[in-house]
Protein backbone atom coordinates (compact mmCIF):
# COMPACT_ATOMS: atom_id res chain seq x y z
CA UNK A 1 0.00 0.00 0.00
CA UNK A 2 1.20 3.49 -0.85
CA UNK A 3 1.74 5.79 2.11
CA UNK A 4 -0.70 8.65 1.55
CA UNK A 5 -3.12 10.85 3.44
CA UNK A 6 -4.92 11.58 0.20
CA UNK A 7 -8.62 12.12 0.88
CA UNK A 8 -11.79 12.06 -1.13
CA UNK A 9 -14.63 13.86 0.58
CA UNK A 10 -18.08 12.59 -0.28
CA UNK A 11 -21.30 14.21 0.85
CA UNK A 12 -24.21 11.86 0.14
CA UNK A 13 -26.85 14.49 0.90
CA UNK A 14 -27.42 15.57 -2.71
CA UNK A 15 -26.35 12.29 -4.34
CA UNK A 16 -28.94 11.06 -6.86
CA UNK A 17 -27.25 7.70 -7.51
CA UNK A 18 -26.48 8.49 -11.15
CA UNK A 19 -23.33 6.29 -11.06
CA UNK A 20 -21.32 8.78 -13.14
CA UNK A 21 -18.53 9.00 -10.58
CA UNK A 22 -18.29 5.23 -10.42
CA UNK A 23 -18.08 4.99 -14.22
CA UNK A 24 -15.55 7.83 -14.42
CA UNK A 25 -12.97 6.21 -12.17
CA UNK A 26 -10.65 4.27 -14.45
CA UNK A 27 -8.58 2.72 -11.66
CA UNK A 28 -11.42 1.23 -9.63
CA UNK A 29 -11.10 3.38 -6.53
CA UNK A 30 -14.88 3.66 -6.40
CA UNK A 31 -17.09 0.64 -5.87
CA UNK A 32 -20.86 0.70 -6.04
CA UNK A 33 -23.31 0.07 -3.23
CA UNK A 34 -26.21 -1.32 -5.30
CA UNK A 35 -28.57 -1.55 -2.37
CA UNK A 36 -28.28 2.11 -1.38
CA UNK A 37 -27.40 3.37 -4.89
CA UNK A 38 -24.34 5.20 -3.61
CA UNK A 39 -20.62 5.23 -4.48
CA UNK A 40 -18.16 3.82 -1.98
CA UNK A 41 -14.59 5.11 -2.01
CA UNK A 42 -13.03 1.75 -1.29
CA UNK A 43 -9.45 2.05 -2.55
CA UNK A 44 -8.43 5.67 -1.98
CA UNK A 45 -4.77 4.67 -1.83
CA UNK A 46 -4.95 3.82 -5.57
CA UNK A 47 -6.36 7.22 -6.56
CA UNK A 48 -4.56 8.97 -9.43
CA UNK A 49 -5.84 12.43 -8.45
CA UNK A 50 -7.39 13.03 -11.86
CA UNK A 51 -10.51 14.60 -10.32
CA UNK A 52 -12.76 13.04 -12.97
CA UNK A 53 -15.17 11.84 -10.28
CA UNK A 54 -15.41 15.36 -8.88
CA UNK A 55 -15.87 16.92 -12.32
CA UNK A 56 -18.62 14.56 -13.51
CA UNK A 57 -20.68 14.93 -10.35
CA UNK A 58 -23.18 17.64 -11.20
CA UNK A 59 -24.46 17.60 -7.64
CA UNK A 60 -21.18 18.68 -6.09
CA UNK A 61 -20.99 15.68 -3.79
CA UNK A 62 -17.30 14.90 -4.30
CA UNK A 63 -14.14 16.80 -3.46
CA UNK A 64 -10.77 15.29 -4.22
CA UNK A 65 -8.14 16.46 -1.74
CA UNK A 66 -4.69 15.30 -2.87
CA UNK A 67 -1.93 14.85 -0.33
CA UNK A 68 0.88 16.60 -2.21
CA UNK A 69 3.53 15.34 0.24
CA UNK A 70 2.58 11.71 -0.21
CA UNK A 71 4.80 8.96 -1.52
CA UNK A 72 2.70 8.64 -4.69
CA UNK A 73 3.21 12.29 -5.63
CA UNK A 74 6.95 12.11 -4.91
CA UNK A 75 7.23 9.05 -7.13
CA UNK A 76 5.36 10.84 -9.95
CA UNK A 77 7.63 13.87 -9.88
CA UNK A 78 10.81 11.82 -9.46
CA UNK A 79 10.35 10.74 -13.07
CA UNK A 80 11.19 14.28 -14.19
CA UNK A 81 14.33 14.43 -12.06
CA UNK A 82 16.11 11.50 -13.75
S1 LIG B 1 -21.81 11.43 -9.66
FE2 LIG B 1 -22.47 12.50 -7.80
S3 LIG B 1 -24.72 12.30 -7.82
FE4 LIG B 1 -23.91 10.75 -9.23
S5 LIG B 1 -23.67 8.88 -7.98
FE6 LIG B 1 -21.69 9.98 -7.95
S7 LIG B 1 -21.77 11.24 -6.09
FE8 LIG B 1 -23.88 10.61 -6.56
S1 LIG C 1 -9.74 11.37 -8.62
FE2 LIG C 1 -9.69 10.04 -10.44
S3 LIG C 1 -8.60 8.19 -9.77
FE4 LIG C 1 -9.24 9.31 -7.92
S5 LIG C 1 -11.21 8.38 -7.34
FE6 LIG C 1 -11.66 10.19 -8.62
S7 LIG C 1 -11.82 9.36 -10.74
FE8 LIG C 1 -10.79 7.80 -9.46
pLDDT digits over 38-53, tens only?
999 999 989 988 999 9
| Least confident stretch, 36-45, 50-59, 61-70 | 61-70
With H, G, I as helix, E, B as strand and everything else as coil, classify residue 30: strand
Domain 7-81 fold: Alpha-Beta Plaits (3.30.70)
| pLDDT value at residue 82 | 61
| pLDDT value at residue 75 | 61
| 69, 73, 80 from 40: Cα distances, Å | 25, 23, 33
Find the 69 Cα to ligand 1 centroid distance in Å: 28
Find the 39 Cα to ligand 2 centroid distance in Å: 12
pLDDT value at 3 more than 70: no
- Residue 56 Cα: closest atom of ligand 1: 1
| pLDDT value at residue 5 | 78
Strands (E), the chain: 7-10, 30-33, 38-41, 62-65
pTM, entire model: 0.84
Amino acid sequence: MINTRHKIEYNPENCVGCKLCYKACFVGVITWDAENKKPVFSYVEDCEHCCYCQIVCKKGCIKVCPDFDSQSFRQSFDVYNR
